[in-house]
Amino acid sequence: MAQADQTVQNDTFPTVRADINNNLAALFTNNSGSSAPSVTVAYMDWIDTSGANPIWKKRNAANNAWITLGTISGNTLAFEGTLPSQSGNSGKYLTTDGTTASWGTIPPGSSKEVFTSSGTWTKPTAGTIALITIWGGGGGGGRNQGNEASGGGGGACVQGLYQLSDLPGSASVTIGAGGTSQAGNGNGGIGGTSSFGSLLSAYGGGGGANNTAGGGGGGGSLSAGGISSGGNGHGSVLDGGNGATLGSPTRGNWGGGGGGRGATGGANAYWGGAGGGGCDSATQRAGGTSLLGGNGSTSNTGTAASVPGGGGGGSNQAAVASGAGGAGLCIVYIW
């Protein structure tokens, strides 16, 4: 530690050498000392050793005040002139508004919340974007012992992408039940509607018929499927597929696939649930498959369709009930 007046005075040899050494020592130690140097110039450094930890200071351009640059603690230097206080800010990141630096909280990674039954969604405190996907319930298969019976239609899929800030603090989530199966002769039950608050609704598939009327239509985004008729949507790709009447059922895209009638299996789907298989004999006919929704179930097995929104298979065999439709679903992604 050393301080000097930064001037070498005229004197004899030993005195001049000592004066030079003192000024060099002051330069090499950054004028360290417990009090400020008595002689100062603009931009000079001073290590203030008066406290528990030395403080690095620099003289300002006007040479009338000291600027604190940082605190030296052991082998570390905590900058104070350019960084906000680090105390209590572990795990945060440095950000700026263009004028002032501050510590920001690192948001969590993406989250996924799945509703398999009705409940309440609560908006999280972190995140920017919300992707909400819901499926309606699939229709149940029809039953007509010894005669023709048809499969139920698949439930629709509806999706919405939102700014998280635009969503309410909470929303009621309703999960549509799968359409009921039939132990006696009768049409299958219509799949229930799933909804996310007042923002999104996905309608269920129609129940399969217990006669030649046709398979259950796939649900749409505006209405449920009916026997042989697909539910309406917000455009052709959202409409539910029609249930089979004389030919084959039609595929669903966002809407559910149509149920099979008689000798036809259920229709496939992309987003919505697939249709259940139909029957006119003891032969089992497969339900359709869906890439992102539930698959339809096979006829004459009494097996429930897959979640979300698959259509149940029909039955015409003694002691074999038709298949129930798969329940709906809601998935909320936040990132």
Quote the Cα angle for 204-283-185, to 5°. Answer: 50
- What value does the mean pLDDT take over residues 130-148? 97
Selected residue with higher pLDDT from 103 and 129: 129
Q: What percent of the chain has pLDDT over 70?
A: 94
Name the CA dihedral angle for 15, 16, 22, 23, rounded to a multiple of 10 degrees. 160
- Provide the 3-class DSSP secondary structure of residue 162: strand
Q: How confident is the model at residue 119 (pLDDT cuts 50, 70, 90)?
A: very high
Q: What is the pLDDT of residue 123?
A: 95
Distance between CA 299 and CA 323 in Å, rounded?
7
Q: How confident is the model at residue 170 (pLDDT cuts 50, 70, 90)?
A: very high
The two structure tokens encoding residue 290: 């869906």
Of 58, 79, 222, 81, residue with least CA distance to 156: 222
Q: What is the pLDDT of residue 74?
A: 80
Q: What is the pLDDT of residue 236?
A: 60
The tens digit of pLDDT for each residue in 175-212 reads 999 999 999 999 999 999 999 999 999 999 999 999 99
CA distances for 263 relative to 86, 144, 312, 314, angstroms: 73, 14, 15, 11
CB atoms within 10 A of CB 75: 5
Q: Is this prediction's pTM over 0.85?
A: no
Domain residue spans of the chain: 13-104, 107-335
* Average pLDDT score, the chain: 89
Cβ(303)–Cβ(99) below 8 Å: no
Distance between CA 230 and CA 194 in Å, rounded?
17
Q: What is the pLDDT of residue 266?
A: 95
Reply yes or no on whether the pLDDT at 1 is more than 60. Answer: no
Reply yes or no on whether the pLDDT at 68 is more than 90. Answer: no
The tens digit of pLDDT for each residue in 267-283 reads 999 999 999 999 999 99
